[in-house]
Structure 1
Amino acid sequence: MTHLTRRHALGLGAASTGALILPRFAIAQADNRPSITIAVQKIANSNTLETLREQSNVGTRTFYSYAESLIDTDWGGDLSLRPGLATAWRRIDDRTVELTLRQGVKFHNGETMTAEDVAFSFGTERMWGGAGQAGSAGLFGSVTAGAAGKQPPAEVVAVAKRAFPGFEKIEIVDPRTVRFVNKTPDVTLEGRISRNVGIIVSRKAFAEAASWLDWARKPVGTGPYGIAEFKPDQSLTLVAHDDYWGGRPPLRQIRFVEVPETASRINGLRSGEYDFACDIPPDQISEIEKNPRHEVLGGLITNHRLTTFDKTHPQLENPLVRRAMTHAIDRQTIVDALWGGRTRVPKGLQWEFYGDMFIEDWAVPAFDPKLARELVKQSGYKGDTIPYRLLNNYYTGQVSTAQVLIESWREIGLNVEIESKENFPQVLAKGPTRAVRDWSNSAAFNDPVASITAQHGPTGQQWQIGEWRNDEMGKLSDELETSTDRARRKAMFRRILEICEREDPAYTVLHQTANFTAKRRDIQWKAAQSFVMDFSARNWGGFRS
């Protein structure tokens, strides 16, 4: 029994006769697979679904259903790499990985995936653009260059260069084999290939799209569900891709609905309007679970919450002020009071799944108000306002955390004032009030180049928008990207942490991110160690009786 609500039945009936269902997703009248609705606070920051453009926490939630990479990650397990659209891979040398392609994979438009599609997905038209395309661009800015034509916008090229800084080419060896070739040695190539920016898309569908923006709002991939309808700032509807290589998808339709207010998402779950409600604050978990029909899943994920600094701001130019700010924060109190102990204070911007690259004896700056006050005094700070640009709970508990930080900084003599913004372009815009802001940092694979260099190094966002840079850190980042000496790489990583977190703070880590999703208890489904939501057959167990 599928426990379909009347709402689901009506929704499916409407979809079967309307424009949402594409020819390749045609479903027989007898199809009794369930449809689900998921309430999210935001679907896409860039209002596109092209992963090269939508690099965000919220975009990560949806892409896994419609797009796939050559190498996958076991987000629900040990975070190891596993076969995706490639069934196997092997190292040829320090610059080359050879991959065996999965056969019989169908795109959502019915075309069979070929080695040419793989080469196209990493090629100039989709990823790199023409001369002059790679300008300085923010991660969450509006779609600009290339939107009207087929050239990818500058923002896309910037992401590509950050994800694959040493990329040279894709070689087609034969119809079943391709080689990913780098210009420089890179011990992390397999991890880079697994990133969502490396999804494989249909070359034919891209060519047929009227413009880059048309493509970006309806990319054609190979996932278990295809994009039926995307209404920016409103909803995203996915429908089953019954020719999926991994078997018939268990759901007929998935609908993500944008519901910015936490209370509205929870109330919709309670009323039966939504089957899932995302981004649940810890203080709401026990209240939701008082109803035996609901439960909350989730926990720690490979993401850290940060506060970042613009060192070009007059009040933050002196690193002593930024250092003072890092020592004024009682992170454990934030974890205990605002998160109910459901997350933790990590050892800086790193994760244990880095393996032998994890620096065990590292720590975030100690909570030391006395030292913080002394640093403020030494800096010569005169009491001028330090603006703190803030969004309204884009991050779970963002506003309450900011209030704690403001009071902590005032305690040490800093005059920090919140400046509320509506979106990320406003937060990132250069100007006299850009000084302190919130951010988060994810590790897409198990090496520091996936996080600290990718986001804070020369190709990262802070350098791109002119917020922070440090020449020594930049040189170390470049070497970390290309070195094959494990011991040397670990020593460089430690030095980068010393610069970014202690000497010349680019950011300060607040806590590891914990992600909680409320859902109907009768649905058998598991949360990932990521913002990813997996609705494939391997993660959907149906309904409990």
Structure 2
Amino acid sequence: MLSINRRGALGLLGATAGTLMLPRFAFSQAKRPSITIAVQKITNNNTLDIWNEQSNVGERVFFPNLWEGLILRDWMGNQGPVPGLATEWKRLDDRTLELKLRQGVKFHNGDELTAEDVAFSFSRERVFGNTEPAGGKTIFEDDHKPATVKELPAAIPGVGRRLWPALAGVEIVDKYTVRFHNATPDVTLEGRLYSFGSQIVSRRSWDEAATYADWARKPVTTGPYMVGEFKPDVSLTLVAFDQYWGGRPPLEQIRFVEVPEVASRVNGLLSGEYDFACDLPPDQIATVQAAPGYEVQNSTIWNHRVSVFNVQNPVLANPLVRRAMTHAIDRQAIVDALWGGKTVVPAGLQFESFRSSDMFVEGWKAPEYDPKLAQDLLKQANYKGDAIPFRLLNNYYTNQTANGQIMVEMWKQVGINVEIQMKENWAQIHDPAGVKGVRDWSASNTINDPITPMVVQFGPNGDVQQKKEWTNEEMNKLSVVMETSTDRALRKKAIARMLEICEREDPVYQVLHQNAVFTGMKSSLKWKAAPAFAMDFRSANWSI
């Protein structure tokens, strides 16, 4: 089995050489290069707000180049925590975490980062709206009363409470010291601080923006690059921020260009129009590598592809039908056919990194491919061949369309009638109109604990239950155990039971395979792909 951290580089490790401002390759020591990256999608909701853009495509453009948190994720290493805007942290008790801020950090507007910015970044106005923490009430509001009130997108408070269900507030101890106070015990507070969403924004930039939309198109952060120009659905240009606390960025500009079609990304790369082409399917690797001066880097990442069942559909309301669907899929055949064996079928919704904290449930596997069992379950369910809709995006995920078509054929072979409905965007996927059935998704481990993705995505505050696609009373009780217990044995027992419920007894999803990222690039410069969607263009990962 591939290690979660394995990085199988196909060809020499390299980087790109191209520039928006100068002829390609015509730069000197005094002038930094600029690069162009072809991506399938820039953001889903046409903003640059981490709370409004919780997505794989968002991770690529946000981290670690634009947004930063108090604790950073080790993007080029084991994905664990490293000091960021905070230089140190310590537990005061099982509900309280104290952090010392890095002094002298500048925002893109020139302001120094202080405890006030941190407190605001986790405030009602910025994230939580009128929601209250589980097990308590919000505190310390007087420390960061809003100077202005902006109307948040409706989804943001819910997203905030998925990651921070019991955060009561951030206490400003002094200019460079903050304390995070939870209403309940939580062994994952440190992990939550380097998860997607817990990054810090300039309080003044928020107050000065006329509207949320104005702010969200050009947020002021602390990263090595700042927003130069954002054209939704077209391009995003990041420019170097030379006052960056981590040193002068090595690139003048990073330009992300939205190129939905794989063939166009590949052709643009090989013609020299783009320096990188992201989200390539494995069948394009040979084409890129056959071209002189080009290579493909690949890595399995902390993300699993899944399909989600909607029990509002009267057919799928019967768990026997959902169980049959999970046993009708030959996952290994899909991995071999579409991925050339370059990824793996994981042990259910688990990641190898859980072993480091002894939270990996040994012996657990994805539902076995068993067509006979699937047919028996359908007979028990008295399934009559009713059509089940499958809302599908056109390759938002790599190989998504082909994967969906293969699954439909596998379901057909055991007698399940699934009909693909092609959709253009996520709004159409989640449109309450019409009959729902199956949809695609992915599930990420963002804090090295089974809370992500199990509780965050499928628990009571998760997207699935908030959209009323599925719910389970025992699952919700176990979610509380995972979020509040400090007893490791009890937590491990809870996650084992969750796997049984969500993948066997009352399936809410089916795991397909661990995700992998394939990036085509020029091999003339030195750059390495991270084992993540994120693309690191800091000095340590770029050399000429």
Give the TM-score taking structure 1 as reference length: 0.91
> Which of residues 492, 495, 499 is equivalent to 2:494?
492
1:245 is aligned to 2:258 = no
What is the SS of the residue equivalent to 1:112?
Answer: coil
Distance 1:163 1:540 in 2: 32
Distance 1:73 1:164 in 2: 18
1:425 is aligned to 2:427 = yes
Distance 2:196 2:53 in 1: 10
Alignment of 1:22-37 (within 5 A): 31-37=30-36
AA aligned to 1:297 is Q
Contact 1:128 1:152 in 2 (8 A): no
1:243-263 CA distance string (max 9 Å, x none): 000000000000000000000
What is the SS of the residue equivalent to 1:393?
Answer: coil
1:326-348 CA distance string (max 9 Å, x none): 00010000011110000000000
AA aligned to 2:121 is S
Question: What residue in structure 2 maps to residue 144 of structure 1?
Answer: none
Distance 1:346 1:4 in 2: 37
1:239-290 CA distance string (max 9 Å, x none): 0000000000000000000000000001111111100000000011111101
Gaps of 5+ in 2: 1-14, 135-147
What is the SS of the residue equivalent to 1:407?
Answer: helix
Question: What residue in structure 1 maps to residue 303 of structure 2?
Answer: 303
Alignment of 1:64-463 (within 5 A): 64=63, 65-130=65-130, 150-354=150-354, 355=356, 356-463=358-465
What is the SS of the residue equivalent to 1:243?
Answer: coil
Question: What residue in structure 1 maps to residue 481 of structure 2?
Answer: 479
Distance 1:454 1:5 in 2: 40
Contact 1:37 1:257 in 2 (8 A): yes
Contact 1:104 1:245 in 2 (8 A): yes
1:200-256 CA distance string (max 9 Å, x none): 110000001110111111111000000011100000000000000000000000000
AA aligned to 2:436 is R
Distance 1:75 1:252 in 2: 21
Contact 1:130 1:151 in 2 (8 A): no
Contact 1:41 1:394 in 2 (8 A): yes
**Corresponding pairs, count:** 512
Distance 1:179 1:508 in 2: 39
Contact 1:149 1:211 in 2 (8 A): no
How far the C-alpha of 1:529 sits from its partner, in A, is 1.7
What is the SS of the residue equivalent to 1:99?
Answer: strand
Question: What residue in structure 1 maps to residue 5 of structure 2?
Answer: none
Question: What residue in structure 1 maps to residue 467 of structure 2?
Answer: 465
1:524 is aligned to 2:526 = yes
What is the SS of the residue equivalent to 1:244?
Answer: coil
How far the C-alpha of 1:6 sits from its partner, in A, is 7.4
How far the C-alpha of 1:361 sits from its partner, in A, is 1.1
What is the SS of the residue equivalent to 1:342?
Answer: coil
AA aligned to 2:50 is T
Contact 1:372 1:412 in 2 (8 A): yes
Question: What residue in structure 2 maps to residue 19 of structure 1?
Answer: none
How far the C-alpha of 1:352 sits from its partner, in A, is 1.1
How far the C-alpha of 1:182 sits from its partner, in A, is 0.4
AA aligned to 2:445 is A
> Which of residues 527, 532, 543 is equivalent to 1:541?
543
Contact 2:312 2:469 in 1 (8 A): yes
Root mean square deviation of aligned Cα? 1.9
Q: Which stretches of structure 1, 4 residues or more, deviate above 4 A after TM superposition?
A: 2-8, 10-13
Distance 2:349 2:331 in 1: 14
What is the SS of the residue equivalent to 2:61?
Answer: helix
Highest RCO, 1 vs 2 (Cα 8 Å, sep ≥ 6): 2
AA aligned to 2:101 is L
Distance 2:206 2:21 in 1: 33
Contact 2:309 2:437 in 1 (8 A): yes
Question: What residue in structure 2 maps to residue 46 of structure 1?
Answer: 45
Q: Identify if the C-alpha distance between structure 1 residues 131 and 187 changes in structure 2 by more than 3 Å, giving closer, same or farther.
A: closer
Q: Identify if the C-alpha distance between structure 1 residues 5 and 328 changes in structure 2 by more than 3 Å, giving closer, same or farther.
A: closer
Distance 2:16 2:164 in 1: 45
Q: Identify if the C-alpha distance between structure 1 residues 535 and 5 changes in structure 2 by more than 3 Å, giving closer, same or farther.
A: closer
AA aligned to 2:412 is R
1:172-213 CA distance string (max 9 Å, x none): 112221111100000000000111311111000000111011
Gaps of 5+ in 1: 14-28, 135-147
Distance 1:229 1:362 in 2: 47
Contact 2:304 2:514 in 1 (8 A): yes
AA aligned to 2:62 is F
Distance 2:29 2:282 in 1: 41
Contact 1:331 1:510 in 2 (8 A): yes
